[in-house]
Amino acid sequence: MRIALVTSLWPAPSRPREGIFAEERWRRMVERGHEVRVVRPVPWWPVLGGPLPLGPRSWREHADEPRREERGGIEVLRPRYLHWPRAPRANARRFAARAAAELARLPRPDVVVADYAWPAAMVAQACRAQGRAFVVHGRGSDVLQVGADPSLRPLLAQAVKTAGQWCAVSRDLVAALDALGEAPGRGALVPNGVDGATYAPRDRREARAGLGLDARRPLVLVVGHWIERKDPLLALEAAAALPDIELALVGRGPLEAALRRRAAQADLAGRVRFVGELPPAELARWYAACDLLLLTSKREGRPNVVLEALSCGRPVVACAAGGTGELLRDAPGMLVEGREPDLLAERVRATLAAPPAPEACRALVRHLDWDACLDALELVLARAVAEAGRA
């Protein structure tokens, strides 16, 4: 099958970890014999030296991205579009117009996928006019946050209805897309897979020795992008009530400076490590070394970090948010209904005192191997192609 992706989230040389979860899925589709191309329109603004209006990244960083690149057998095209500060509706339309123009120059795909729904779903109208099969793929904030914005929801809803086909990584997101498309039961669940070979149980003591960590003090791991909806500051507040633990923060993001300040103010600096971003093999070593993963997100699709930690045989303590509950519903004590630091600290303390066996953790995600997940994706794409052919 010839597949074209339109997305606003894909790794680049300056940001090799951004969207790597999506790249992993489609790289595996290439290994199954599918042809995949990616169109990732890049925002452009004439004043290239300054920061983006809503974050620390500079316009120059985007401007320096290669216009064409091949990664893992996937051709990635990065056309530029004018991105006007604080104009999300107009920017979404310009993004879509530039993506549609790029698609028109490619060999005709069997199906176009908006992988990360916003603003990529806005390409649906152009594809529909050309008789192309089109699928909206939801992953998290691209559906929940945009769908909750009164100024953007109508545009996303119309795009979903125009597409007529959609899927998402959690049942929570599928239901949200069904509501946007006004078609209950229409969407399909296509969960993320987890690499059980990379993320496998290993000896904790050996892993700690390899990382130079104290084997005597419990290690709690927090992994993610340091942004407001991930709420890593809540993890620090919970850690402040757990004087015997060490906290390792893996990731990066605009809240890092605030996290460092808060760690110092809470007298946590001596037992909080800022590890930075890690490639999968290195991250797996930290999962092996930790006693549990703590996740404090306010919103989630179906978090890969939970899949990875459980596959490594490590328990999770997580706030109930979106698809997180779907992963942990059969894991007694891992899901916390509430966002109070003391409540989280209490659950962490109880889990450390009586942790589940590694194999019990791994069993929770054993069914989420990549083959099963890719089978589900292929069914969605095949249905879209078949229905477009009958239109």
Flag whether pLDDT at 107 surpasses 90.
yes
What the chain holds in terms of domains, given with CATH numbers, is: 2-193+369-390 (3.40.50.2000), 204-363 (3.40.50.2000)
Flag whether pLDDT at 328 surpasses 50.
yes
If we measure between CA atoms, which residue out of 140, 264, 282, 172 comes closest to residue 221?
282
What band does 14 get if pLDDT is binned at 50, 70 and 90? confident
Flag whether pLDDT at 48 surpasses 60.
no
Neighbours of 27 (CB within 10 A): 15
Contacts of 391 (CB under 8 A, 6+ apart): 131
The reported pTM is: 0.91
Which residue has tokens 């050996």? 206
CA separation for the pair 167, 383 (Å, rounded)? 12
CA separation for the pair 150, 360 (Å, rounded)? 43
User: What value does the mean pLDDT take over residues 99-123?
Assistant: 97
Neighbours of 312 (CB within 10 A): 28
Which residue has tokens 């037992």? 271
Instruction: List pLDDT tens digits, range 242-292.
Output: 999 999 999 999 999 999 999 988 778 789 999 999 999 999 999 999 999
CA separation for the pair 386, 299 (Å, rounded)? 34
Instruction: List pLDDT tens digits, range 208-221.
Output: 999 999 888 999 99
pLDDT for residue 54? 43
If we measure between CA atoms, which residue out of 171, 178, 111 comes closest to residue 147?
178
